[in-house]
Structure 1
């Protein structure tokens, strides 16, 4: 595949890091911080965070390791070029679902680079929530095993780590389950699930010891991309738990994705500026899903977003093993983060945030 030139990222303020040397060994440094919102100037803070992440030594080293070059350009051009470069070198899905992605044949040096970069970019090690109190806790759906793990971890956080003053939102879609997911559910003794939201609903009922929802609503439009559903449970001594299945924002093209589910929940919840929202996903998806949440929640509603991954060391998750995380999967999700940041930056630019240039 031909080499793609990649321009260098541009810091909004303060200046971005300089050229990078070899990445540090995995686990020796804190991950590169993700973008975050600042009530005083949310757009500027998020833009600076995007630039800092994109211009970090792990990204520079990874691009160099796959033959990339760094010409100049503004931040929008940088993100576009990184999107193009990652499509050529790190996209193994080709439009398919994640389990159908191929695993690339990488040499030992590249495998080492990828794992070091993934760790330094925050895709490997889970971290605890930054606060002890949140307005809402949002559990993001995924493959069947992930749905079970994330709901169980959210229950642990509610009982031992955080207080939630609003609701717990468990977000999914009517995506049909694969045969591999059905086997996972059979091994976990979960029956009667045909879609992602079915798994989330079963996980909520089993994890919190519930039987029937206290309230339900929805629209069956005759097609899963158009339909939606809402089920609300009230566990004793805990905030209400709402299980939502979102429609797609592009129903003629695809199923509902992560940003659709976040946006759909925001339309149903009463969000206020400055409210802290905690998202639960898997560590490998934290960067891209965090940036999706900034775009769908922080920018339009003024919420503060904290995104954490499930801690695999939890003993209560031993019966729900995580699939092996490979270099190909890490590269794919680094690409997802770049694409999410590009979309986030475009949204900020549309509302008037200037696109700074290098000196």
Structure 2
């Protein structure tokens, strides 16, 4: 476990990186309900998260896992929610003292939000790349291609999951500064990245529905490259189109319906390390539980050349706190589903 201070330092602040140990394990993606419950209990009850709660003035609750999840959801909403319903780039950054900022980084490392890990298996039924901000889409597609070109075997398909979310002005500027095409939506960036990284000029299969509204429309484009599995770029509709755009769980469910997931299928999800706990637990809820498939989730290794010419973004303590909250909320949703 990390060497984490239990309370704010009274002397000079240590500014070097803390000593860290092995990451706290996430719930297993191939186990049954009891193991998932045990995995959530282990991650949520780990010493680093307890110390983080104490640092922000919280008292760990007595009670079962449901009580802990309820407390952590409410506590993190009060102390670690800097989005307020906005998109991630629009979140504010909290003003933390150096000791607290150091603690946050150490806890994030221990909880699996910092260090990338390689895939656990040599082969999977499917490889799924989760969409996100423009630079992340490019980096994740490039990393998926790297995995395939260095020996990862995929027996089914490679799927890039996104939506018709319009790019922000910041995302467009980031693409322009890197000399990349000025795409309009998240799924456009995924599509551009696939054609660029895999060297495929045009889709061999197209499907979709233009419902006149981006929250209700969907599209599917499939590319083929010699020696590789088919690559699908999918834009999902929202399950609540009157309220919001499609989110991660929407894209996962929509893809699962298209690919016809089977019990026992092993699925590898690719995202950024900071989102691994949250999106892994979302995938357990939306894919592993209803379909009986296995889930492994990995973050892009930033040391791998990504072919995008985009700088690696700096991740702040506020970003890590926000995504620890996202993981807590994803585990609460998973627990609620398992309890039904």
Partner of 1:314: 304
Partner of 1:102: 92
Partner of 1:172: 162
Q: What does the per-residue CA deviation read over 1:246-299, in whole Å, with 9 as the maximum and x for residues that have no partner? A: 000111111000111011100101211111100000000000000000001100
Q: What does the per-residue CA deviation read over 1:134-170, in whole Å, with 9 as the maximum and x for residues that have no partner? A: 0000000000000000000000001104100000000
Counterparts of 2:57 and 2:182, CA distance in 1: 48
Decide whether the 8 Å contact of 1:93 with 1:102 is kept in 2.
yes
Cα 1:161–1:110 shift into 2, 3 Å? farther
Partner of 1:139: 129
User: Which of 213, 221, 230 is the matching residue for 2:220?
Assistant: 230
Q: What does the per-residue CA deviation read over 1:157-213, in whole Å, with 9 as the maximum and x for residues that have no partner? A: 011041000000000000000111111111233225100000000000000111110
Counterparts of 2:171 and 2:232, CA distance in 1: 23
Counterparts of 2:208 and 2:308, CA distance in 1: 34
2:179 corresponds to 1:160: no
Cα 1:129–1:27 shift into 2, 3 Å? farther
Counterparts of 1:57 and 1:318, CA distance in 2: 38
Cα 1:71–1:135 shift into 2, 3 Å? same
Shift of 1:27: 5.9
Decide whether the 8 Å contact of 1:290 with 1:306 is kept in 2.
yes
**DSSP-derived class of the 2:268 partner:** strand
Decide whether the 8 Å contact of 1:190 with 1:202 is kept in 2.
no
Decide whether the 8 Å contact of 1:26 with 1:119 is kept in 2.
no
Counterparts of 1:318 and 1:116, CA distance in 2: 29
Shift of 1:317: 4.9
Counterparts of 1:27 and 1:212, CA distance in 2: 49
Decide whether the 8 Å contact of 2:61 with 2:71 is kept in 1.
no
1:187-206, aligned counterparts within 5 Å? 187-206=177-196
C-alpha RMSD of matched pairs (Å) = 1.6
Q: What does the per-residue CA deviation read over 1:49-102, in whole Å, with 9 as the maximum and x for residues that have no partner? A: 111100001110100010000231221121011000000000000000000000
**DSSP-derived class of the 1:315 partner:** coil
2:138 corresponds to 1:148: yes
**DSSP-derived class of the 2:239 partner:** coil
User: Which of 16, 24, 29 is the matching residue for 1:32?
Assistant: 24
Partner of 2:10: none
2:216 corresponds to 1:209: no
2:47 corresponds to 1:57: yes
Counterparts of 1:261 and 1:208, CA distance in 2: 22
Q: What does the per-residue CA deviation read over 1:3-35, in whole Å, with 9 as the maximum and x for residues that have no partner? A: xxxxxxxxxxxxxx9xx9759x64631110000
Gapped runs of 5+ residues in structure 2?
8-16
Partner of 2:265: 275
Decide whether the 8 Å contact of 2:134 with 2:175 is kept in 1.
yes
2:237 corresponds to 1:247: yes
* Dislocated runs of 4+, deviation >2 Å: 20-23, 25-28, 187-190, 315-318
Cα 1:21–1:316 shift into 2, 3 Å? closer
Partner of 1:68: 58
Q: What does the per-residue CA deviation read over 1:98-130, in whole Å, with 9 as the maximum and x for residues that have no partner? A: 000000000011101100000000000100000
Q: TM-score normalized by structure 2?
A: 0.94
Cα 1:282–1:27 shift into 2, 3 Å? farther
Counterparts of 1:194 and 1:115, CA distance in 2: 34
User: Which of 243, 253, 260 is the matching residue for 1:263?
Assistant: 253
Q: TM-score normalized by structure 1?
A: 0.89
